[in-house]
Structure formats: structure tokens, C-alpha cells
Amino acid sequence: MEFLTLCEKQEYSKKDCQEFQEALEFAKIILGPKTRLSGESYYTHNVNVAKILMENKSEPEIIITAILHGLLKDVNKEIIQKRFGKEVLGLLEGATELGMLKVKHGKLDPSVLRKIMLTTLKDPRVVLVKLANKLENMKTIHVFSQKEQERLAEEVLDFYAPLAYRLGVERFKIQLEDVAFRILNPKKYKEIATFLKETEEEREHNINGIISKIKGITKDKVNLINIKGRSKQIYSIYKKLKRTGASVQLHKQMDLLGIRILAKNVGDCYTVLGLLLETFTAREGRLKDYIANPKSNFYRSIHVGLELPHGKVVEVQIRTQEMDEFADEGVAAHWRYKSLKSDELFEKKISWLRNVLDLQKTNELIESVKVDLFGDKIQCYTPKGDVKELPVDATLLDFAYLVHEQIGNHCIGGRVNGKFVPLKHKLHNEDVIEVLINKKQRPRRGWIRIVTSSKARQKIRKSLKEFEKLPAIYFRTFKPEITEELGILVKSEVYPNATCILAKCCKPIPGDEILGIVTKRKIISTHRTDCKLAEKESNRWVSVEWKNEYNQKIQFSVVADERSGLLADLLNTIVRAQFEVKEAKAKLVGSGQAECSFLVIPKDLDHVKELIKRIFKLRGVKKVYFG
């Protein structure tokens, strides 16, 4: 009865509920009174697994698969197909295959990994049953010895939780991590859980106050679906404590508050962001636009950390209803949005599996899974603003090979946030990276020791074999169009092969009149024509001009009459012009005027000019300046 009540609550159709009832009756007959090691009946276990999936709003065929999982060894396949259909039979076969695979003694057995991934690739929905089954099993883990409990918990934390993340099932990831952490570190788990319980009333009061304020500033300006407080996950708090160091005590953690805002559409998301930034101060480095640049598992949302009194910070997530459901439910949400053409997104979500399965060598497979599935990630940007996700400790050379194999092969170094760096330079989160190449460069065997990712190593080995077969003349006739990837801002007809950099003294931006000064290293330093320092070096001037391809971050400010909704209007204008916003802030300057500053990544010079035109059309805008 409880099961069918949940079915109605989750808004499954009458037909679905009837099919669930038929599956329940069938499973009860086949499984009978047989019990598991915990003393729980197999039937009860299957029902509980199905409930977990139902709470995750999984599609009907997955619910039926959960109810029936484990029955294939006792029931003829033809009977299953006749009663429940070919699709359910296929899912059951996949679930049975996964059920037979074990991660032995906490080790990554490559044959097991490959089988799990092959099964996942055939139909990722099968893994949902496995994950729900694992979550339900953890509830009865007390029947095992302490050593076995820890082994199973490590298996969950090291393999199944990251797998849930990669499939975009945030809800399963959080639950699996917390239950495993409770077993592996009960003392720390209890400390954090107790602290959260003791401070629950205070946090709830703070959250309600902020929500009330947000409702006030968004009223009559944007239609919101929902605003709700979010509880911070115990394991994520633990990881943050580890990152910040043991010296930072739990009660001093300032960002345990979370709010999620659901807006009707993407435009409304940016309107909300603008209104928030007009009222609150954003914590530096805490504005993340995953709508413009989704994460590797295609998670989409805007995150912004807002400063509160007494040093506290609230993290606000802004997204649409669809984004929210995809974030919580992952592949489970796919069936409800088939009509919205999500199949391409769905395919991209599991494309990492295909890449991993391309690795034939056992050690490469294990290494790739450790890095791509389990390892922490950093997000870096190309000069054009494209996001590239890499493992922690990745180098410039890793990045070059991630962009393109030929870029990696001919990489000689690069600029990270405008500074020249060598191939082995370690990257950090949010670095903007410009890869420099030379047509005479070729891969070296020592490069294998520089990169961290197995994919880069694989490309280097492949390229080494190819280059060894090529005659020397190749390096004199290498196709020049690859150099367009450099993303250099300016060019000189006098020194066409010289590297051009932007001078820090006068910070020229597209549209400025510029000149070049040839340095002793034969690098052209680009200055504004009115630069005082450049005047002193007139004997070394050369003619330079802007390339149309402009792909660096630029900072600009807008001075306008102070009014409610100004920042929101500006943000909407910038986003609709297809700029990626990295930072946004506002302040009052003088009587009745406000200054809004932005850090953005444009496509090209014309893109910048078009944006300025649009901004001047907004009510009250007085001035736009760069730098």
C-alpha cells in the first residue's frame, strides 16, 4: 500500500501503477519467503530498491526492473518478456550482469571495470538499479565484520559515488558519500552531524531571512518557480575542512548556508543574478556560470557566493526547473524530456565512457578510470572561453593535447593568465590558457613523464610512432593553418612570426589605436598610441593592428544613473550578446550614479563594438570605459 501511495505522490500514471502492482505480485510469488544475510526478505529488499528509484523519479521500466532484479536465475526469459516487455528484459539482463561483478578487495580490477562500463554504455539506466541497490545494501551493512564494512564503504566512496556523479545523479552521489563516510570515519561524521543539528535553528533562521530578502528584491521583476534552502552535505563539509586545513575549526566555517532559486527560463536566471549582485556583495572568485559553461557531466547552474554580516557566506544556485531535475536525477530525468531534444545532451553525458573504453592497455584503463572517474578536477579556459576539465596537477602539455593532438605535438609553451610558462607548468582552477606552437616542434619521449592524463600519454606514444616514420622535410612543409589556434591579439606585417603581447602599463583593448615596440627578445609589446612609456621608445616602434579574433578576458565598467534593476539589465544585455561573464559587481559613485564592472570573454573585436552599442541603448547609461 505504501508503495502505491508513493507511486501516486510521484505522479506516475494509473497504467504505470497497475504495472508496478503486477510486478510486485509476480516478484512476491517467485522470491517467496527467502531471506538475505541481514534477515530481510529478498522481496522487501527489491521493493526498497524500487522505492529509492521512484523517489528519484526514474522511468517506469526502471522501477519494474528494480522490483524484478535477481529473478532471472529462477524465471525463464520468455516469461519475463511476455509479461513485462522486451525493454524490461534487456534492463534485467544488464542489471544481472552488473550484479555479478564485484570490485574485489577495494582494487580496480580492469576486467571488472571494462564489463561495468560496457554494460553502462549499452544502457546507462541499468547503473541506476545498481546504485540504488548499493545504497539499500549499505543500510544493512552492520551484519558484516568491521573490516568488511570498511571495504564496502571504500568501494562506494572510490567507485560508485563518482560513477553517480559522472551520470549526473547528484542525489545518489550525496547519499552514497555520506553513508560510506559514516562507516569510514564515524568520529568525524558524528562531530559534523552533531554540529549541524545544534546549529540547525540558527541556520534556518538565517536562510529564511535571506529568502525573504530575495523575494522582496525579485518581486514584480522576475517570475520564480521556487526558492528553497539547501542543507550542506556532511561529506562535502568534511572535504572542505581538509582543504582549508586542520587549523580551521568547524564552528568557524562561514559558508554552510545554501539557497537554490528556480527560474522559468535562462534569461530569468541572469536577471535574478543581476538583482542579487545589486543588493549583496559577491565573494571574490565565487561566481561560476555553469549555464554558459556546463561541467563535464553537463551539470548546468549559476553559482554565486554572497557575503553576509559577520563574515558568513551563502552559496546561491540559480537554474531552471529542467536543469534542477537533470542535476538531481541525471539519466533518470532523460525519459521525461525526450520531447525537448535532450538526446544529444544525454549522449554527451556518457561520451567519457567511450573514450575510456578506447584504451586497450590494462594499466592505461586503470589509470584513466582513476583520473577521469575518481580524481579531483580543475576547470581551465581557452582564450575563447571554452571550458576544459583536467585532473588536478595537469600540466600545460596536458591542456594542449586536450585541445587537439596536433596542438600538443607542436606545443612549445604557453601563456597562463598572460604569463609565459613552460610545458611542465602545473595548472590551477580557472586558469586562462593560450597554447603557443611552433611548426618545427615535435613530440619527445620525455613528454610522457610531463603529462598526468593517460589520454595525453596515449596521444604522445601514437604521435612518436608517426613522427619517426616522417622525413625531415615534413617539418619545413607543415600546414600553417594550425597556427591560428594561437589566439594572438595583434599582428605585425613587419615581423609576421613574432609573438605579440599586450603591455601592462597602458592595457590596450580592441578598438584602441595601437603601436608595437620590439623588445630585445624579439617579442612585440603592444601599447596604446598615447602611452607615455611608449613615447620614450619611438626608435623601436613597429606598425601593428588588431586581429579580428579577440579571445582574451576584458574588463569594462558602465557608469549610469542609479536605479533598481540596472545591473540585471546590463547582465541580460551582455549574456544575450553571447558573452561569457566571469565577474560582475556594482557600486555607487557620486550623487545618483552607479558604476557596474564586468569581466567578460568576447568572441572578436566586432563582438565588443556591438555590445557597447547595445549598452548605450539602455536607459541612463552615461559612459563605458575599459581597464
Highest mean pLDDT among 101-115, 388-402, 551-565, 596-610: 388-402
* Comparison of pLDDT for 385 and 262, the residue scoring more: 262
- Among the ranges given (16-30, 227-241, 260-274, 596-610), the one the predictor scored with the smallest mean pLDDT: 596-610
**In this structure, are residues 129 and 152 in contact, taking their beta carbons and an 8 Å threshold?**
no
pLDDT of residue 476: 29
| C-beta of residue 84 within 8 angstroms of C-beta of residue 64 | yes
Dist CA 503 CA 525 (whole Å): 6
pTM, full prediction: 0.59
| pLDDT at residue 485, rounded to an integer | 29
Q: Which residue has the higher pLDDT, 592 or 214?
A: 214
Taking the alpha carbons of 609, 611, 612, 616 in that order, is the dihedral positive or negative?
Answer: positive
State whether residue 26 is helix, strand or coil: helix
Q: What distance lies between CA 197 and its chain's CA centroid? A: 30
Read off the pLDDT of residues 117-140 as tens digits, 9 standing for 90 and up.
Answer: 666 666 777 888 888 999 999 888
Bridge partners of residue 260, in order along the sequence: 228, 317
Least confident of 202-206, 325-329, 508-512: 508-512
- Of residues 362 and 625, more confidence is placed in 625
397 grid coordinates = 602539455
> Which pLDDT belongs to residue 401?
92
The per-residue pLDDT for 341 is 40
Residue 338 has pLDDT above 80, yes or no: no
Cα separation, 570 vs 582, whole angstroms: 14
Q: DSSP letter string over 378-389?
A: EEEE-TT--EEE
Of 35, 88, 38, nearest to 66 (Cα)?
88
∠ CA 606-594-587, nearest 5°, is 100
Name which residue leads in pLDDT, 266 or 372. 266
**DSSP tag of 281:** P
Rounded Cα distance between 547 and 491, Å, is: 6
pLDDT at residue 554 greater than cutoff 50: yes
Looking at residue 183, its pLDDT comes to 93
- At residue 474, the pLDDT reads 33
Q: Is the per-residue pLDDT at 306 higher than 60?
A: yes
DSSP states of 107-157 as a string? ---HHHHHHHHHHHHH-THHHHHHHHHHHHHHTTGGGS-HHHHHHHHHHII
Query: What pLDDT shows up at residue 119?
Result: 65
Mean per-residue pLDDT, 300-305: 90
| Mean pLDDT confidence for 407-415 | 88
Percentage above 70 pLDDT, the chain: 78
- Categorize the per-residue pLDDT at 490 as very low, low, confident or very high, splitting at 50, 70 and 90: low
At residue 339, the pLDDT reads 41
Q: E strands along 365-405, which residues?
A: 377-381, 387-391
Q: Where are the alpha helices (DSSP H) in 199-254?
A: 200-218, 234-244
Amino acid 470: pLDDT: 46
Note the pLDDT of residue 605: 64
Mean pLDDT of 239-246: 68
Task: Give the helix/strand (H/E) hosting 559.
Answer: strand 554-561
The answer on pLDDT for 607 being more than 70 is yes
Q: How far does Cα 538 stand from its chain's mean position?
A: 48
Per the prediction, the chain carries an average pLDDT of 78
* Confidence (pLDDT) at 51: 92
Q: Could you give all domains of the chain from N- to C-terminal order, each with its CATH number?
A: 2-185 (1.10.3210.10), 193-340 (3.30.460.10), 380-484 (3.10.20.30), 488-546 (no CATH), 554-626 (3.30.70.260)
Residues in the chain: 627
State the angle between helix axes of 86-99 and 110-122 in degrees (0 to 180), rounded to the nearest 10.
170
- Burial label, 473 (beta-carbon count in 10 A; 0-12, 13-18, 19+): exposed
Instruction: Please compute the mean of the pLDDT values over residues 295-307 and round it to a whole number.
Output: 82
Residue 601's pLDDT band (cuts 50, 70, 90): confident
Q: Lowest-pLDDT range, 43-52, 245-254, 418-427?
A: 245-254
Average pLDDT in the 283-291 region? Answer: 81
Residues 526 and 550 sit within 8 Å (Cβ to Cβ): no
Higher pLDDT, 207 or 486: 207
pLDDT given for residue 547 in this prediction = 63
Task: Supply the pLDDT for residue 486.
Answer: 27
Q: What is the pLDDT of residue 288?
A: 84
State residue 74 phi and psi, 5-degree precision: -115, -10
User: Cα-Cα-Cα-Cα dihedral of 398, 403, 405, 407, to 10°?
Assistant: -90
- Using 50, 70 and 90 to split pLDDT, how confident is the model at 365? very low
pLDDT computed for residue 247 by the predictor: 44
Sheet with 419-421, strands from edge to edge, namely 419-421, 411-416, 433-437
Q: Average pLDDT of 30-50?
A: 87
3-state secondary structure of 286: strand
Which phi and psi angles does 567 have, rounded to 5°?
-65, -40
Q: In the structure grid, which three cell numbers stand for residue 606, read together? A: 566586432
Of the given ranges (107-116, 306-315, 462-471, 606-615), which has the lowest mean pLDDT?
Answer: 107-116
Closest C-alpha among 183, 166, 106, 104 to residue 131? 166
Read off the amino acid at residue 279: T
Supply the pLDDT for residue 330: 63
Q: Which stretch of 30-34, 455-459, 481-485, 500-504 has the lowest confidence by average pLDDT?
A: 481-485
Question: For residue 180, is pLDDT > 90?
Answer: yes
pLDDT in tens, 498-524: 677 778 787 776 666 788 888 877 778
In this prediction, residue 380 has a pLDDT band, given cuts at 50, 70 and 90, of confident
pLDDT of residue 66: 92
Tell me, what's the pLDDT at 319? 94
pLDDT > 70? residue 345? no
**Residues in Cβ contact with 218 at an 8 Å cutoff, skipping those fewer than 6 apart:** 224, 272, 275
For 442-464, what is each residue's pLDDT tens digit? 888 889 889 988 778 888 988 88
